[in-house]
Structures are given as structure tokens and as C-alpha cells.
Chain A
Amino acid sequence: MASYAEETVKFMKLALEQAKDALVNLEVPVGCVFVEDGEVIASGRNRTTETRNATRHAEMEAIDFLVEQWQKNGLSPLEVSERFSKCTLYVTCEPCIMCAAALSYLGIKEAYYGCGNDKFGGCGSILSLHTSCSELPTSELASSKKGFKCTGGIMASEAVSLLRSFYEQGNPNAPKPHRPLTQQV
């Protein structure tokens, strides 16, 4: 088991490198890597400020890279789906509801994350989109819905301290003064 944990830490460190890169670029410091057969095949980090698109999370960046790459190589949707099913994701923060749903649509094999995401986590904190859900008995398509194994708490303190330094320096992108939406509308 020691070597297994060693590998997990190795890949999480690479994900943390991505997160640091985000921090340097004034982005929310979350990073990830996709690993297939023990090799990193894609990495990503938040680009929400740069793109002004709040959906450009680390996972989405890496996913788009892979889809583009595999498509260039002429892989069919089915082949891409097979490749994703062999992928393990290492991400510094629990995937949000959006990313967890995306990962479930792709049918990845497994995910490891650093810190939990108690505001919008989609892998157990708020919703559990990683579990192959049998809550939809009415749907004949539930069978095609795959879950993925998800393990949290890998180097969580490193991930948290990156996020902390970001929020201490202030999110330059957040509306000021920060106030709840109900007062704005």
C-alpha cells in the first residue's frame, strides 16, 4: 500500500504545482492532473479571471484539452469514452457540482482530491454525483450512468493554505462591496 500512497502523493504534488501557477496568475488556486496508466496525460488550473468565465475550472480545462487532443488523433466518441474510463483525476479541491457532474458524464475511473468543498462540493459535500446513482428507477438510461471512486483528504492542508493565501490577498475579481444577491436585485 505504501507505493500506492506514494504515487497518489506524487500526482497530487503535480496538481498542487498547477494550483500554484493559478495563484501566481491571480486565479483561484485549484489545479489538477489526469493520469492514465501511471502517466500524466493532461493538467489544468483555474482560468476564471482570465477568461471571465466562471466555469473554467481546472477540471474543465484539462477535459477540454483531452477531448481536443483525442479528437485530433481521430478517436471516435466511443474510443474517447473508453480512454476516460481509464483515467484517474488528482485535483487539489473537491470537484464542485458542475465538475463532478461532468466527470460522471465522462465516466472517469477514479478521483483523488485534496481539501473538501463545503460550499459547492459535488463529491459528497453538497451532492454526491460520483456515486452511481440508483435514485432514478423511472429512467431506463440509468444503466449508462457510471459512478467513479472518490477519495478526499490527500495533502489537504497544502491545498487549503494556497486557497487561504489567495483569499488573503483578496479576490480581485469579486464584486465590491461583497454583498448577497438579494440586495442587488
Chain B
Amino acid sequence: MRMKNTESASPQVCQIIHIPEKPSFLPHLQPTVNVLASVIEPKDANTLVRKLKQIAPLENLQHVKRVRKKCIDEGKPQLSLLLCLAVENDGEVDGMPYEIREIVKSYQLSTFITKVCKYAATSKEEWEEQCKLWPTSYHPPTYNISGITGFSEEESQSVFGFMRHTINLATSSIGQVVNAAVIVDPSTKQVIASACDQVIFSGSLENEVSKEGSFSNYLENLKASNLENQQMSLLDGSIGDSKHLTNNVACVHPWQWAMQSSGSWHPMRHAAIVAIEHSAARDLQLFPDYNALSPLKKQKIKESDFKSNGHSYQSIRPYLCTGYDIYLAWEPCAMCAMALVHQRVRRIFFSSPNSNAGALGSVHRLQGERSLNHHYAVFRVMLPEEVFRNKVV
């Protein structure tokens, strides 16, 4: 069975595709929104701009300039002012907010509908196209992904290898596809932690629970079984996008946990959340004393690291998952994508997009939320068709 996802179109070669901070469009095909504007007298410009900032701020259009200046004949400038977003019933005064209507009346404006670009430009080409419609501001990207994009042949092979491993994990239980998460230290190519969804459990894990009968024991068992997972032989697995296959993928159907009838389950234990938990447990195990140190001592350790340049405590013990990559079979949901922001993961590689609840480009796009205190780079990894050949059903 081929992947039904039309987007993926069964690639013949492995590919790593960067998923940018905003949807990408050809410069002349950028999405636009309709706004209400009017030609104004230049002498009124300052007053009107100040008033509009108060009553109709351009909340999601901060890149759009409020005033457009056009030189008509003999260098005499004509100013147009953006009043507000246009509502349905284009052009009808009724649709305008009350305050705007008041301004239109008192300054005797004649309004018209025009288009502005919906997203801020990320390249000069985009910006030039945008300004043909209505002027916008352009800030060259501050987020520099050079050095983490651009994969060498060796690095690409390593990425494909880890993704195959992840997909094998996701498809390793018979008749069921779940999400799988593998946290990797790319500098040593070492697996730091890995996990599958534990929202519902089946097979041997479920039996373990009924034996133990306690949730805490159960969690302990899961931690232990994680080790086995890591050493598991790599079975040839597959992932499809048809609905019955994705039914058990927690990030694709995060609202469906209550419909499960199996004996053991936990609605929050998506693969990425569990993998983060494992990596935190590993940190505690490898560096048990760190929390006991006084902040001053920690500072000293860090300073000495800085001097000794490398082989020291702090360079071995990263802050959370700083510098680590995570591989996911499926694009994570909002909960998992934000958990990965919190845990400071450097790069996310996923295989299948998640049109139902994906938060890295499908439904939300957390890598483009500028207010967050950490930003990872996101990539979709396309593997050749044979990797996806369905052995699950």
C-alpha cells in the first residue's frame, strides 16, 4: 500500500525539507487580506494614524504600513490611509466598527477596499511584491538557520538512519501504528532517549500492568522497557496515512483517548512527552548531585568549564535538551511541540505531516511564534517508498 498522503507523493530519494517559520509562497502568490482604506488630506495624517492606533490596531498585520504614499502628477503626493480590516459586505458602511464610521463621517472620507499581504515578508523579493499592493515593512530574518540547515552527505545519512529507526519503533507493535520519539545527541550520534505513545497500551505492556496493578509500578516498568526498546532490532516497518492506521497515533487524535477500552492508558503520555521524561531521568541518573549544588557552586563549575574548554562537567551535562535533535514519526500536536520548546530541543525531524492537529505547520506553526523563548528548526524527512511499504495490516 502506498502512502495515501498526496503531499508526500512517494519520493524516490531521501530528502530533508526545512519547514519554515511561516508558510512559503511564491513572491507573487502571497496570501492577502482585504482592508478598508481611504485617500486622506496630508495634514490629517498624523492625527488619524494616532487615533487609529488606539481604536483599530493592526493586530496580526504589524508588518503593514498604515499610510501609502503615491506620487501622482508633478510630484504631488497622495496619501491613503488603512482604516481597518474589511468585513463581509465589502464597502458597506454598516460593516465598519462604530469608531471608524465616526472618523469617516467627520473627515468626509470616501473608503475603498484594497488588499494587503497577510504575512510579513521574509525575503527582499517577497517584500518588493508586497509593496506593489500596499507598503509593508521588511526586517531580514534574525533567526539564522545556516549551520543547522544544509546537511552534509554524512549528516543526511545519519538523519535518514535515525528516521528509519523511529518509524520502525512507531510500527513495531503488530496491527497498530503509534507515534515514536527518539532524542539524539547529534554530536555523538547517541540515542539519549526513545519512546512510543503510551496513551493506550496493548500486548505485553498491558499484561505487565494487570500483574502489577499499580500505576506507579507500571510507570517504572515502562521506564525499564524503554531500554529494551532502544536495543530492539530494527524491523522493517511502515506508516500510512489512511484513517484506520492513524487511529492510535496520539498526536493525530489527541481528543480520542477516552474512547479506548483497554485496561491501561494515560491521555497525556504522547511519545514526545515520554521521551522527554526519559531524557530528564537519564540526566538525573548521570548527574545526580547537580541539584544539590548551591547556585554559586554551579556558577563556578560553569566558569571552570569555560576555561578548560570542553571536557568538563557542564559540557557533558547539557541544559535540558539543548543541542539535541528529536525524531518523530508524526508531526507533533500543540502539547508535544510546546513541550519540545520547553525542553530546548534544537532540531525536530518528523516523517508524516499531521493535518488533524499538527503544530509545526499543519494547524499551528510554533516555530514561527516569535514570542516563545526558544526556537527550534523543523524538518520533514522524506524516505523512499519502500520504507513505507505497509506491513502493518
Q: Interface of A with B (CB < 8 Å)? A: 48-55, 60, 63-64, 67-68, 71-72, 76-78, 80-81, 96-102, 104-107, 118-120, 122, 126-127, 129, 135-136, 138-139, 141, 144-146, 170, 172-176, 181-182, 184-185
Contacts and interface: CB of A to CB of B under 8 A. Distances in A.
A141 to B, nearest CB: 6
A127 B344 contact: no
Given A52-B280, A185-B147, A120 B372 contact: yes
A182 B253 contact: no
Given A63-B268, A141-B253, A98 B363 contact: no
15 contacts: A49-B291, A52-B283, A54-B320, A55-B277, A77-B257, A80-B258, A97-B338, A98-B342, A122-B334, A136-B363, A139-B355, A139-B356, A172-B298, A173-B319, A181-B344
Interface of B: 142-144, 147-148, 214-216, 253-261, 264-268, 273, 276-277, 280, 283-284, 291, 295, 298-299, 302, 319-320, 322-323, 333-339, 341-344, 346, 355-356, 359, 363-364, 366, 369, 371-375
Contact of B334 (A52, A129, A146, A184): A129
Contact of B323 (A145, A172, A184): A184
A99 B280 CA distance: 19
SS class, residues of chain B in contact with chain A: loop
B373 A119 contact: yes
Contacts of B258: 77-78, 80-81, 107
Given A72-B214, A97-B366, A175-B322, A120 B371 contact: yes
B268 A102 contact: yes
A101 B256 contact: no
Nearest to B294: A172
Contacts of B339: 54-55, 98
B335 A78 contact: no
Contacts of A102: 268, 335
Contact of A101 (B253, B302, B333): B333
